[in-house]
Amino acid sequence: MQIYPSDDGNAAFVRLDRGTDMLQGLNEAAAKLGVEAGTVQAIGAVTELVIGYFDQDRKEYRTTALPSSFEIGSGIGNVSLKDGKPFVHLHVVATGPDGAAIGGHLMEGTKIYVIEAYFRQLGGEPPVRAQNEDIGLATWR
């Protein structure tokens, strides 16, 4: 991981390295940067993609694992607190050789080819995630 911080410590670019799990890498970057509340953006490419779709009726994720290479056309999301720790929530849209787009909630198992990420601190009280029975997910309370 290579970090390119802003002078005021409120933002940073981060290069995540080949072979790293994308979600784990982003969570490690958030922890290293001390971001408890912030926005995240990422582009790049991966060698494997694992995405989730939340089934609102069954209240569980359906996971799609694709063991092939994709561009990360967009990765956007946020850092907030879950169980007292910085937690990255990122949605991605990935694109294949002919440009066809597929995406969802970024899951563990997505392997990086190269990722360029951007973090910016909110600079305020972090939202805190707690299980929301109506939604079936840990939403900001």
- Contact residues: a copy of itself, CB under 8 A: 2, 4-8, 10-13, 15, 18, 37, 39, 41, 43, 45, 47, 51, 53-56, 62, 64, 69, 71-78, 80, 89-93, 95-105, 113-114, 116, 118, 120, 122-127, 132, 134-135, 137, 139-141
Alpha-carbon distances, residue 31 vs 41, 117, 120 (angstroms): 16, 14, 13
Report the C-alpha gap between 127 and 141 in whole angstroms: 7
Residue 20: CB minimum distance to a copy of itself, A:
13
| Choice between 28 and 116, CB closer to a copy of itself | 116
Of 21 and 46, nearer to a copy of itself (C-beta) is 46
How far are the Cα atoms of 20, 31, 35, 101, 113 from residue 9, in angstroms, in the given order? 25, 14, 10, 35, 27
